[in-house]
Amino acid sequence: MAPLSIIVTVKQVPDTNEVRIDPKTNSLMREGIPSILNPEDANAVEAALRLRDEHGGSVTAITMGPPQAEAVLEEVLCLGVDRAVLLSDRAFAGSDTLLTAFTLSRAVLKMKKFDLILCGRQAIDGDTAQVGPQLAAFLGIPQVTYAEEIVFSEGLFRIQRGLEHTRELVAARPPLLVTVSASGPVPRHGSLYALAAACSGEHIKRWGARELALPPSMLGLSASPTAVKKIFEPDRSVKGEAFEGSEKEMAAQLIVRLRETGCL
């Protein structure tokens, strides 16, 4: 059996417990806020490392962001990732999920060979869960979402998906993209040997728009088809309304209330 070539996407995000919103611009105030590796990306990295440890091969991490995003690549290299790629260019600033996925897809194609792409289900700074599926669409490969466990045998990836009320087992052949949820493999701790190698920076490549041959029509905020119009904190002084009874009775009460307020 040939060794596996695995790519895992990671993202540096603000620690959302510390997030504040600028009342004038309605944007996140990131100054002075610590940045962390997106939690579900850590689960995806662990899934990649387990597959590599069992079947051989390599794991390459990719992140897109400003130069300081290199810190998350150093972190996953400490965990045992073999090599990493930083996609950083001022032209990328403001890219929405679609253009982010497009840029990532061009980086994947530049790497040429892969069997599996792993992504965290979603990032805690946006909670859109869009980049993984969009990346699969740009690459024209199958995707499986909400993965909790991934095994590889007889040329097939077998993925256990965690759904709201059930579990689902899916089998697919490579190449394949899988998004991993927080209930996936528990991330390991890094080693001092891996830390020394990561800090050398020798395993990190840096690519910008030129290296990826990206057209201006697919770069940055001005080219993004979507934009955040407003971010605001909910008014916590407004109290909600609770219903009591069975599910059927509460549903009936809710319908009545919606009709009274003109929502139905």
pLDDT score of 21: 67
- Give me the residue spans of the domains in the chain: 4-223
One-letter amino acid for residue 207 of the chain: W
When the pLDDT of each residue in the chain is averaged and rounded to a whole number, the result is 88
Contact 214, 103 (CB under 8 A): yes
Q: Which CATH number fits domain 4-223: 3.90.550.10, 3.30.1330.50, 3.40.1260.10, 3.40.50.620?
A: 3.40.50.620
d(CA 184, CA 240): 34
What average pLDDT does range 128-142 have in this prediction? Answer: 95
3-state DSSP assignment of residue 214: coil
Q: What is the pLDDT of residue 199?
A: 58
pLDDT band for position 127 (cuts 50, 70, 90): confident
CB-based contacts of 132-137 (< 8 A; 24+ apart in sequence): 132/9, 132/177, 132/179, 133/177, 133/179, 134/97, 134/98, 134/101, 134/102, 135/9, 135/101, 135/104, 135/105, 135/108, 135/177, 136/177, 137/101
Supply 168's token pair.
């689902």
Q: Give the lowest-confidence range in 27-31, 49-53, 209-213.
A: 27-31
Mean pLDDT value of segment 54-65: 96
Which residues sit opposite 123 in a β-bridge? none
